Structures are given as C-alpha cells and as structure tokens.
Chain A
Amino acid sequence: MAETLIEIADIAKDYHRGKVAIPVLSEISLQIEKGDFLALMGPSGSGKTTLLNLIGGLDTPTSGSISIDGERIDKLTQGKLAAWRSRHVGFVFQFYNLLPVLTAEKNVELPLLLTNLNRKERKKRALAALAVVGLQDRASHRPTELSGGQEQRVAIARAIVSDPGLLVCDEPTGDLDRATADEILELLQLLNREYGKTIVMVTHDPKAADHANHCLYLDKGSLSGSQTA
C-alpha cells in the first residue's frame, strides 16, 4: 500500500451570493496516494473546479480538513498558502494562461522568481523544464508564436519547473484537438510515471480519463468512484 499524499476529510464548500449560502460541495472525503494519476469527471457545474481549487490550495473549504503531505492546508493563512503553493503544487489550466509579453523561457521561469536561485540557475532550470516537454528549441518564442498544444506544453513546463510533487490540471485538453490532446495526455502520463508526479486532472473527456490510473465522478457535490487499468 503506497503512502497517502492527499487526505480530504468531510469537506464542504459554500459560495455566497449576497447573504444566501449556496452549497457546492458537501461531505466529501477522499484519499489520494502519492504517485497516483486521478481523473475527476462529472457534468458541468458539479463542483469539479471547486474541488480541484481546494486541493491545489487556491481556496479554502467552508468546513472539513485537507492535509497534503501531512500539512493541514485548510488551516494556512492566505500568505502561507501562497508560499505553500509555490513549493508544492504545479497548475495547468484549460486556457494555458501564459503571459503574452514574456518568451516561453521567461514564462517557465516565473515560479523560480519566488526562490533564492540566481539568474543563471533559473535559466538552466527553465530550459531543462522546456526540454522535458520537448520545446527546448522554442525558448525564445512568445505565446502568440506558438500553437495551442505548444502553449499548453509551456504551461506544463511552468508547472513542473520548481519540481512540485503535485500537479493539478483543470481540463488541460479542453481547448485542443484530439491528436494534440493525446500528446498532452501522454506527456502528463510521462510526468506521472517517470518523474513520480502525483496528478489530479479534471476532464470532460472519457478518452482523457483513460490515461489516468483512477477515475472519480462528481455529481451534485458528491463523489462516486471507479477503478480503471
């Protein structure tokens, strides 16, 4: 039995519209092992992004606890949570969210600005991360000079550059064609298998979920699981 990385115990999340609390997630408990590749599926509006944001420390639950690698992230203040994210989590989004004025290399370097590494060391690591995603020859290109698939690879390089143990991906292939999507999914698989990254991926696409080790379904704020290959 592998070590548990993520331990979610009975969390709930409400959003507030004015004075009315709208429950989005309730009574969710979940354990994710270190080195797992988990797909999270479910209809639109079921709360997938909300759950992923809680796991990635972008938001805090209304109740319940979330520990990651033994750390109670639901207890951290905003500032501490930001610092924790910079060390432990890489983020990949549907729309890549690269800074358009920066080159691929400078985009990938961004998370390293929060470390004590010097300029030379930062450049070396940014180029290494670009090499992992197969874009070392595009280091000086700006996002507008790259295809969608290449932009997503740069975003993945940015997510892994500071070597976090956990990657959270929100519909990473949602804006890509089938062939490109498969390449991205294979890249994520590679990061999971060869580099030992734990991955939690939200997706609509059953084919995308096939690349994961497990798949969980979220519907109306509660979970049901299924085991795949």
Chain B
Amino acid sequence: MKYLGLIWSALYRKPLRSFLTLASIFVAFLLFGLLQSVSVAFSEGVDFSGVDRLIIAPKYSIIDPLPENHAVAINAITGVELVSHRSWFGGVYQDTSQFFPRWPVPPESFLAMYPEYLLTDAEKAAFVQTRTGAIIGRPLAETYNLKLGDKIPLIGDIWPNKDNTVWEFDLVGIYDVANESVETDQMFINFEFFDEYRQWSQGTVGNIVAKINNPDDSAAIAAEIDRLFANSSDETKTTTEKAYNQMFAKQVGDIGLIMTGILSAVFFTILLLTGNTMAQAIRERIPELAILKTIGFSNVSVLMIVLCEALLIVLVGSLPGLMLAAGLLTKFSQSVSVFNGVELSGFIVAQGVGLAFLMALIVGLPPALRAMRLNIVDALGDHQ
C-alpha cells in the first residue's frame, strides 16, 4: 500500500511519545494474554483424559479432614490400583520466612504412588522403617546445608505434639526428581509417627490419592468415589492433580472475576492514555492534514490515514505483547504448577487481535473524524 510510508512515519514524529504509547499497549496485551489464558484454564471443567491419579478431597473445604478409612474403601473399588494420602503439616522451620510445604505421608504407598521422586533403595527402606523419618528435595538440602542423619526441628503450629515440644524428624533421604514439573521444595514425613504423636484428629488425613489401572476409567471412577461417600458426614470431591492445584488457587477468590477486573482497569487506563495521545497528535498536525487535503487527498483518505495510524500503533504494541505471553506461558506451564496446562490458545490470540482492532477504532475514530471534517481554508488560515 502506497500510503504505508506516510502512515509509518507517524511513529517517528515524537519518538519518545510513540515509545511510551507502544510500551503501555505492549504491557496491556502481555497481561491480557497471560491473565486471559489462566482465567480460561481455571474456568474449564475438570479434564480427566489420560489421568491415572485422582485426588480425593473434602467436598466443601480443603481444610476439612477426611477419615483415613476412606482410603480403605476407595482401595476396594475395582479399577483402583493403589491408594495413598497426604496431610498438611504447616509448621515453622527456623523462622516463619523459611517456608516450604511439609506433608505427612504413609511412606510405602507414597513411594509406590510417586515414582517421580528418585531415592536410592537404601533411602527408600530407611524412609519406610524410620518412625521419625523424613525426606526432602536436593535443592532444599543444599539451601539449609542438611545431610543424611541430620535432625530437622519443626514447630508444630497447626499440629502440636503430645509433649508440646518441638517436633524432630530424622533426615533419611534426599530426593531428586524425574522431570522438571515435579516440585523439589517439599518435605515428606512419616505419617504414622505424626498421627500418633499429634494432640488431636488421629485417624484423619488431608486428602487421599488413588492410582487407577486404566486412565480411560478415570472420570467414571471419580464419579463412583464421590457417590460412595455421598450423604455421609465426610463427602468427597474427586478431581485431577491439575484441577486440584488450580482449586487451591481458586480459594483465593473467583480468579475469572479478578482477572477480568484487572484487565478492565488496565484497558480503561490504556484507552484514556492512548486516546489522549492520539487526540493531541492530531491537534499538532492540523496544518499537515490541511496540506494533504489541499493537494487533493479526499476526506475519506484522510480519515483512513489517521485510522490506519491508530491501528498501526496498536498492532505494533499488541502483537509482540501477545507473543511474549505465549512464550512465557510455554515456559511456565512446565515449571510453575498453577500454570500447568495453561496455554495461549488460538481463540485467545484471536480475541486479542479483535481487541486490538476495537481499541484502534475507539482511540482512532475521534481524531480521524476530526481530520476528515477539517476545513482547509480555516485550518490554513489558523496557521497564518
């Protein structure tokens, strides 16, 4: 298009102003790409396909306990290969800022359930046999300079022990992980010792994990588990690990609503800023636009030129923003559990591009109309 040079040159008129405008649009669309993707992933139903581990959590609140006996009942369901469970210890190590998750688990079924935690056979045996045994990930061991045989003292803030003293665990294993998506900053504790020595709630667990023989049955078995405990005093909600992680984040609030709120605020600000910038830019250029008309550019071509400038600015800012969002999500979906499986879908890219066009129209139309209506004689007269 032969007007492209003319339109493109608008970006160079005030380089700093263009840069700031582009940067704010870039940030807005980066946020759009990230937040919209997360929000969509969070609002999707639970996807059971290909999943062979189910999380059985209390139906109403993730802080309610479940009876340990549920695990036995679940194990009896046909198609369930293995059952384990975990609880939330909380606790304080050194001081409250040194936080990493600590989970009491039954060592034997835990190790069978999660082959992705890599330990030597000797360490595995020690974890199973040591009543006060605990294992931690290698990065944690390095951070706190812990070696096998060390004692790890934890203050039981949620779970005081029967002597009201500091809990003490023996480090019997330092695990590596089989792949990047497994979190390494965790500590696992022998559940049996924890359960006996805590002051109350014996025989309860945080949630139960079931491994099933055939992933194709996961949805059906999940439904069967929840039916089994329906109308009992401890109803369950069975879901996938991914959905459970997201549910954890959802406790914070309605993610979709928060995201939409943030995005609306961002876009409202950007619209005001960009709209103001465009209006100002046009005011400065009235003599130039008058000369284009003098030369013989029609009112409609002047309108289109100004609109295309707005579109150019918005696209040059927004497309790289969306691209960076896609890149970051690809990276995070491997390494950050909340982003597991979150991706920038084609639909969101299309939404983003649509939004860019809408934004160009909103910020570009008022100055474009003004340019179109500009009267040559008045405009040249004002200048002289």
Contact = CB atoms under 8 A, between A and B. Distances in A.
B12 interface: yes
Interface stretch (B1-9, B91-99, B100-108): B1-9
A82 B297 contact: yes
B305 to A, nearest CB: 10
B162 interface: no
B223 interface: no
A114 B13 CA distance: 23
Contacts of A120: none
Nearest to B2: A113
A53 B376 CA distance: 10
B291 A99 contact: yes
B376 A58 contact: yes
B151 interface: no
Interface centre among A49, A58, A79, A84 (most CB of B within 10 A): A58
A93 interface: yes
A91 B295 CA distance: 7
A102 B296 contact: no
Contact of A91 (B3, B5, B13, B294): B294
B288 A82 contact: no
Given A95-B384, A99-B291, A113-B6, A82 B298 contact: yes
A229 interface: no
B337 interface: no
B298 A79 contact: yes
Interface residues of B, number: 26
Contacts of B293: 82
Given A101-B10, A101-B13, A110-B292, A93 B380 contact: yes
Contact of A49 (B5, B10, B381): B381
Given A83-B296, A97-B291, A102-B9, A113 B3 contact: yes
A85 interface: yes
B70 to A, nearest CB: 72
A111 interface: yes
Nearest to B12: A101
A67 interface: no
Given A58-B376, A102-B9, A111 B295 contact: yes
A111 B296 contact: yes
A56 B291 CA distance: 13
Contacts, number: 72
B9 A85 contact: no
Interface residues of A, number: 29
Nearest to B285: A99
Contact of A101 (B9, B296, B376): B9
Interface string B264-308: 000000000000000000000001101111111111000000000
B210 to A, nearest CB: 67
Contacts of A106: 5-6, 9
Interface string A183-226: 00000000000000000000000000000000000000000000
A148 B333 CA distance: 60
Contact of A97 (B3, B9, B13, B287): B287
Contacts of B384: 49, 93-95
A174 to B, nearest CB: 9
B377 interface: yes
Contact of B295 (A59, A85, A95, A119): A85
Nearest to A155: B291
Given A49-B381, A58-B377, A85 B294 contact: yes
Given A100-B13, A101-B9, A102-B9, A86 B295 contact: yes
16 contacts: A58-B376, A58-B380, A59-B376, A83-B296, A86-B295, A95-B287, A97-B288, A99-B291, A100-B13, A101-B9, A106-B6, A106-B9, A110-B292, A111-B296, A113-B2, A114-B297
Given A79-B298, A86-B295, 13 more contacts: A56-B294, A59-B376, A83-B298, A86-B296, A91-B295, A93-B380, A101-B10, A102-B5, A102-B6, A106-B6, A106-B9, A110-B6, A114-B295
7 residue pairs, one from A and one from B, having the closest CB atoms: A86-B296, A101-B9, A97-B291, A85-B296, A111-B295, A59-B377, A82-B296
